[in-house]
Structure 1
Amino acid sequence: MEPIIAIVLALIGYALGSAKLINQGNVALVERLGRYHRKLSPGLNFIVPLVDQIVMEDTTREQYIDIKPQNVITRDNIYLEVDAILYWRIKDIEKSFYAIDDLQGALVQLAHTTLREIIAQNTVEETNVSRSEMDRAILDQLNDTTSGWGVEIIRLDIQRITPPESVRKSMEEERAAEIKKRALISEAEGERQAAIKKAEGTMTSMQIIAEALRTNPESKEILRYLVAQDYINASYRLGESQNAKVVFVDPGKSGDLMKEMIAESTNIEGNGTPNGNGNT
Structure 2
Amino acid sequence: MPFSGFDILIPVLVVLVLFLIFAGIKTVPQGYNYTVERFGRYTKTLSPGLNIIVPFIDRVGAKMNMMEQVLDVPTQEVITRDNAIVAVDGVAFYQVLSAAQAAYQVSGLENAILNLTMTNIRSVMGSMDLDELLSNRDAINDRLLRIVDEAAQPWGIKMTRVEIKDINPPANLVESMARQMMAERNKRAQILEAEGLKQAQVLEAEGRREAAFRDAEARERAAEAEARATQVVSEAIAKGDVQAINYFVAQKYTEAMAKIGSATNSKVVLMPLEASSLIGSLGGIGAIAKEVFGEDGQPVRPRHSTARTPSVTPDQPA
Structure 2 residue 71 is matched with structure 1 residue 49: no
Cα distance change on mapping 1:19 and 1:169 into 2, 3 Å = same
In 2, Cα distance between equivalents of 1:183 and 1:4: 100
The structure-2 alpha-carbon separation of the partners of 1:106 and 1:213, relative to structure 1 and needing over 3 Å to count, comes to same
Alignment of 1:253-268 (within 5 A): none
Structure 1: runs of 5 or more not aligned: 220-250, 253-280
Alignment partner of 1:74 out of 51, 55, 80: 80
Distance (Å, rounded) in 2 between the aligned partners of 1:198 and 1:4: 118
Query: How does the TM-score come out when normalised to structure 2?
Result: 0.59
Partners of 1:34 and 1:51 lie apart in 2 by 9
Are the equivalent residues in 1 in contact too, given 2:36–2:42 (CA < 8 A)? yes
> Which secondary structure state, in structure 2, belongs to the residue aligned with residue 27 of structure 1?
strand
Answer yes or no: is 1:191 the counterpart of 2:229: no
- What is the alpha-carbon distance in structure 1 between the residues aligned to residue 70 and residue 205 of structure 2? 66
Partner residue of 1:176? Answer: 182
- TM-score, normalised relative to structure 1: 0.66
Q: Which residue of 2 aligns with 1:273?
A: none
Q: Give the alignment partner of residue 42 of structure 2, picking from 28, 33, 36.
A: 36
2:124 match: secondary structure: helix
The CA distance in 1 between the partners of 2:52 and 2:80, in whole Å, is 55
Instruction: Give matches, 1:58-73, under 5 Å.
Output: 58-73=64-79
Alignment of 1:197-236 (within 5 A): 197-215=203-221
Alpha-carbon separation, structure 2, partners of 1:14 and 1:198: 104
Please say if 1:108 is aligned against 2:123: no
Cα distance between partner residues in 2 of 1:190 and 1:15: 91
- Offset, 1:84: 0.9
Letter in 1 for 2:75: P
SS in 1 for 2:59: strand
Shift of 1:66: 0.9
Letter in 1 for 2:181: R
Kindly provide the CA deviation profile for residues 9-31 of structure 1, in whole angstroms up to 9, marking residues without a partner as x: 66665554433333443322111
Corresponding residue of 1:132: 138
Greater CA drift, 24-33 or 163-172: 24-33
Unaligned runs of 5+ in 2: 1-6, 226-263, 266-318
Deviation at 1:157, TM superposition (A): 1.2
Change (3 A) 1:216 1:79: same
Amino acid paired to 2:141: D
Q: Deviations over 1:29-68 (max 9, x none)?
A: 1112322110122333222233322222223232221111
In the alignment, which residue of structure 2 is the partner of 1:242?
A: none
Partners of 1:44 and 1:122 in 2: how far apart? 52
Work out the CA distance in 2 between the residues paired with 1:214 and 1:6: 135
Segment drifting more, 71-80 vs 200-209:
200-209
Alignment of structure 1 residues 152-163 onto 2, 5 Å: 152-163=158-169
Q: Helix, strand or coil: the match of 1:49?
A: coil
Q: Is the 8 A contact 2:34 2:47 kept in 1?
A: yes
Distance 1:3 1:208 in 2: 130
Q: How many Å apart are 1:93 and its aligned residue?
A: 1.4
The RMSD of aligned alpha carbons is 3.2
- Please state if 1:99 is matched with 2:105: yes
Question: Secondary structure in 2 aligned to 1:100?
Answer: coil
Shift of 1:82: 0.9
Bigger drift between 86-95 and 131-140 goes to 131-140
- Whole-Å Cα distance in 1 between the matches of residues 93 and 145 of structure 2? 10
CA distance in 2, matches of 1:67, 1:94: 25
Q: Distance in 2 between the 1:209 and 1:3 partners?
A: 133
Look up the equivalent residue of 2:157 and give its one-letter code.
V
Which secondary structure does the structure 2 equivalent of 1:113 belong to?
A: helix
Note closer, same or farther for the CA distance 1:104–1:213 as it changes in structure 2 (3 Å cut). same
Once residues 12 and 182 of structure 2 are traced to their aligned partners in structure 1, the CA distance between those partners, rounded to angstroms, is: 87
**Structure 1 segments of 4 or more deviating over 4 A?**
1-16
Displacement of 1:81 in angstroms is 0.9
- Aligned match of 1:141: 147
Q: Are residue 84 (structure 1) and residue 90 (structure 2) matched?
A: yes
Rg larger in 1 or in 2?
A: 2
Q: Secondary structure at the match of 2:35?
A: strand
| AA aligned opposite 1:103 | L
Residue type at the aligned position of 1:116 = R
CA distance in 1, matches of 2:215, 2:11: 124
Aligned to 1:122: 128
Measured after TM superposition, the shift of residue 7 of structure 1 is 6.7
